[in-house]
Chains A and B, each alone.
Chain A
Amino acid sequence: MIIVQVLQGLMEGVFLFLIASGLTLIFGVSRIVNFAHGSFYMLGAFLTYQIHPWIAAGTPGGFFTSILLCGVLVALIGLAFELVFLRRVYHAEELMQLVLTLAAVLIVRDLTKFFWGLDDVTVVLPDALSGAVIMGDLFLPTYQLAMVTVGVLVLVSLWAVLKFTRAGIVLRAATDDRGMVALLGINQAHVFTAVFTVGSFLAGIAGGFAAAFESVNYLLDARVIVLAFIVVVIGGLGNLYGALFAALGVGVVKSLGLLWAPRLSMVVIFLLMAVVLLFRSLRRTGE
């Protein structure tokens, strides 16, 4: 049973990573705390709900295509937001970035209410994805396996991009030292734009996957942004691999916690977040 729970927690963790990866990436490179991340996620969910019936409805191919398409749509929205607004405040103080991303949260939420109403919506899974791989006691739902695959795919491709491509070297430089990028003779603004777009894309596809996994409504943004913050903070702000471990950890704490301390799991997770923050600071000042 514990094994089943741990496994289930890990699967949930991979999805949490998918949610949080974009946020931590954006913070790592441009130091923007993107409060609108949850809103982009929500947009991804509702857009998928909207367009999936139009694209080969009921087939896995059509389903994944619509998620991908929505990811791209959200990425474009993110791109526009970055180019038109966010770009102006990189050099202003951090609070101005807070104002802008908070404004985006309010705007996206009301637009969601306007277009899709207050009721829960959900995307019906194609039959081919709604089964499970059964191994003895163990049920591995096909759709969750698909989400895990996508999470791993995202992780591997981000890793590969960071490790092997010129763009990745620039990104790593940007994470470590923003001045470095300028020294490398690369336009920092382009790097920020690209990363924000990719981050929005990741939020969008995560939301798309969620639409078929749970039922979604306009209150999704706040819940998701808090979850994403937990993961990003525990993982170390801006640390992609840290976020992976944090996400897996949070998933397992939740899935085991409900067995032993069913009412405390969220408190435990937030305590962990607080302890991690404080511990990091003590270590920093100890240096």
Chain B
Amino acid sequence: MAAEHRRGNASWSIDWRLVAATFVLVAIALHLSPPLVAFAIIEVMIFALYASALNLLLSYSGMVSFGHAVYFGLGAYGLAITIAKFGWPMWAGVVAGPLVSAFFGLVYGALCVQLTAIYAAMLTLACAEITFAIVFQWFDFTGGDSGISGHVPAMMGLSPAWFGMVVLVVVTICILALWRVVHAPLGLTIRAVGENPVRAAAMGHGRKRVQLAAFVISAFLSGVAGTLYGIFHGNVFPEYVGVLFTIDGLVMVLLGGLYSFGAGIYGAIVYKLLDNVMAHYFEYWQLVIGVILVLVVLVSPAGIAGLVSTVAARLRGRAG
């Protein structure tokens, strides 16, 4: 697990060849796929970003959020409300979405970092439920449960493949940026504070503002994902800030494997793969997710990421 920790900062640089290869492969896949598959790829990418943002909290900053869908969904609401209610142009809505999420991340985060462990997690839940209730009930502003739709053409009017390209570019940039953050001095501080706040404090790093910084970054990136999701579907509904989206994100990270950067990405791939493919053949696909989670705990606490790095290490061992 956490292979990048083990080798010190030698592996902290980005492997551009791999990024480029992945980018090209996904781009080709997008263009070769029928729409439903392209949709699935788009979903995987958006949720990979959302789960990776959540993973910054879970794996690195020592916080658990039981209400992260708020920052996801508010991105889509920021987009929708600025366009549909304020009459802003689309580009302004796109900018506004993640900023709304970051703002709420700042406000709620500032409250939540006052607490620790399960108490902080419960406060994230309370904040999320309050937000959900307001979004659900404030008809004139948020559209209530009928949501807001039609403010942007779904997928900006592009074909699935080309909208997928837009998502691919944005998600790649965001995940690379997140990688940079995690492996920059700030990321080191976040990891240290997250793992052992008492030691970090004795070294001069107070917990609260570091965790707050992580929370805001996570909220912002979740907001980017949510904004993309809002454009993808051309709508926003209270569901997007609701508890099911929160659980989706949590399950993805835990499935992917804690304490590794790829957790959100692996988790999103497996989760959305089951959701999109298996659900057609087997209605009870969440049961399968549940069983996999149990196996994760019993067999491979480092999740899918752990399995992947083990296999990769074996392969390398054999090759070398």
- Chain A interfacial positions (CB closer than 8 Å to B): 27, 33, 85, 88-89, 92, 94-96, 98-100, 102-107, 109-111, 113-114, 222, 226, 229, 233, 237, 263, 266-267, 270-271, 273-274, 277-278, 280-282
The answer, among A100, A111, A278, for a CB contact under 8 Å with B115, is A278
Interchain Cβ contacts under 8 Å between A and B, 27 examples: A33-B118, A88-B298, A92-B301, A94-B64, A95-B254, A99-B254, A100-B294, A102-B293, A103-B293, A104-B290, A106-B293, A107-B287, A110-B287, A110-B290, A111-B287, A113-B284, A114-B284, A222-B243, A237-B118, A266-B133, A267-B130, A267-B134, A273-B126, A274-B126, A274-B130, A278-B115, A281-B114
Shortest Cβ distance from B294 into A: residue: A103
Q: Contact at A94–B127, with CB atoms within 8 Å?
A: no
Q: Contact at B291–A103, with CB atoms within 8 Å?
A: yes
Given A229-B125, A273-B126, A85-B298 contact (CB < 8 Å)? yes
Q: Contact at B115–A99, with CB atoms within 8 Å?
A: no
Given A89-B297, A110-B290, 13 new contacts (CB under 8 A): A85-B297, A88-B297, A92-B297, A95-B254, A98-B64, A103-B289, A226-B243, A229-B125, A233-B122, A267-B130, A267-B133, A270-B126, A278-B115
Note all chain A residues with C-beta closer than 8 A to B118. 27, 33, 94, 237
Q: Is B2 an interface residue (CB 8 A)?
A: no
Note all chain B residues with C-beta closer than 8 A to A102. 247, 250-251, 254, 293
Q: Contact at B58–A95, with CB atoms within 8 Å?
A: yes
Note all chain A residues with C-beta closer than 8 A to B289. 103, 106
Given A33-B118, A278-B123, A270-B293 contact (CB < 8 Å)? no
- Chain B interfacial positions (CB closer than 8 Å to A): 58, 64, 111, 114-115, 117-119, 121-123, 125-127, 129-130, 133-134, 137, 243-244, 247, 250-251, 254, 258, 283-287, 289-291, 293-294, 296-298, 301
In the bound complex, how far is the Cα of B111 from the Cα of A100, in angstroms? 28
Minimum C-beta distance from A106 to chain B (A): 4
Q: Contact at A226–B294, with CB atoms within 8 Å?
A: no
In the bound complex, how far is the Cα of B192 from the Cα of A46, in angstroms? 46
Q: Contact at B111–A278, with CB atoms within 8 Å?
A: yes
In the bound complex, how far is the Cα of B284 from the Cα of A33, in angstroms? 25
Minimum C-beta distance from B241 to chain A (A): 14
Note all chain B residues with C-beta closer than 8 A to A113. 283-284
Minimum C-beta distance from A99 to chain B (A): 5
Q: Contact at B298–A277, with CB atoms within 8 Å?
A: no
Q: Contact at B297–A96, with CB atoms within 8 Å?
A: yes
In the bound complex, how far is the Cα of B180 from the Cα of A183, in angstroms? 48
Minimum C-beta distance from B27 to chain A (A): 33
Note all chain A residues with C-beta closer than 8 A to B121. 33
Given A99-B254, A100-B294, A281-B115, A274-B286 contact (CB < 8 Å)? no
In the bound complex, how far is the Cα of B64 from the Cα of A277, in angstroms? 16
The answer, among B64, B130, B294, B298, for a CB contact under 8 Å with A95, is B64
Minimum C-beta distance from B254 to chain A (A): 5
Shortest Cβ distance from B292 into A: residue: A103
In the bound complex, how far is the Cα of B58 from the Cα of A125, in angstroms? 46
Q: Contact at B287–A100, with CB atoms within 8 Å?
A: no
Note all chain A residues with C-beta closer than 8 A to B114. 278, 281-282
